[in-house]
Amino acid sequence: MSTVSSTARRISLSTTLIVLAAATINACDTASLLWRNPVVLNCPEHRVLADAASLVTFRDGPGRDLVDVDVEGQLIGMRLACQTDMEKGDKSGNLEIEATVLFGAARGPANRSRKGILPYFLRVTDINDRILYGENFKIKAAFPGNQTRVRFHAGVITLELPIKVADDGKSWELSNRDYVIWTGFALTREQLKYNRTRRSSVRR
């Protein structure tokens, strides 16, 4: 697992290869380079995994009461900025995506260091939930001064997803609708069980 910095990361997906490199894209929500006949696709669907939307860490020891909480993290959401790297008339290209994950964190009664580490993941699946790419990251939370709650975001992760026009030239073999981007906290079994128990008690 690696700590994410402000440096953009590029992950290129193909049917056989994943390539990592540094990259930056100037884009708002959805953009395309200024080609003569550009193809413009919207960003793929993106979701936060409900069971992994929160993370509670405790101080060392068996205690699991409120006084034992070290850091509580919330995954607020994910921002995407997309750019279509394909000209009209071409058969294939890439959909370049900047993904930025947004967090909130609260300092618990047991926290003395005024900081914490929140592990999280990014996954790209197809529409049948098959994982095409997955990686875990870590983000640092800091509570300066008297702050007990903070909001922040991770560094940009840039994805390259292949897109392709079908042989008939009228439909897509691979497009933005063939991908779903997921994020959530990378939980231990104990943390996942804690989240599910807490969600069940809230619904009652």
Residues 158-167, mean pLDDT to the nearest whole number: 94
CA 100 to chain centre: 7
- 3-class SS at 144? coil
| pLDDT the model gives residue 2 | 36
Supply the range of the domain harboring residue 199: 2-203
Share above pLDDT 70 across residues of the chain, in percent, rounded to a whole number: 80
- pLDDT band at 23; cut points 50, 70, 90: very low
Yes or no: say if 172 and 165 are a contact pair by the CB < 8 Å rule: yes
**H and E: helices and strands count for the chain:** 1, 14
Residues 33-40, mean pLDDT to the nearest whole number: 62
One-letter amino acid of 140: K
Helix (H) or strand (E) holding 106: strand 92-107
Highest mean pLDDT out of 1-15, 84-98, 137-151: 137-151
| Average confidence score pLDDT of the chain | 84
Residues 72-83, mean pLDDT to the nearest whole number: 96
Q: Is the pLDDT of residue 35 over 60?
A: no
Q: Is the pTM of this model over 0.85?
A: no
Count of domains observed in the chain = 1
Q: Is the pLDDT of residue 3 over 60?
A: no
**Where is average pLDDT lowest: 8-12, 80-84, 89-93, 112-116?**
8-12
Residues 35-52, mean pLDDT to the nearest whole number: 86
- pLDDT band at 36; cut points 50, 70, 90: low
Strands (DSSP E) along 4-44, which ranges? 9-13, 18-22, 30-32
Residues 60-66, mean pLDDT to the nearest whole number: 91
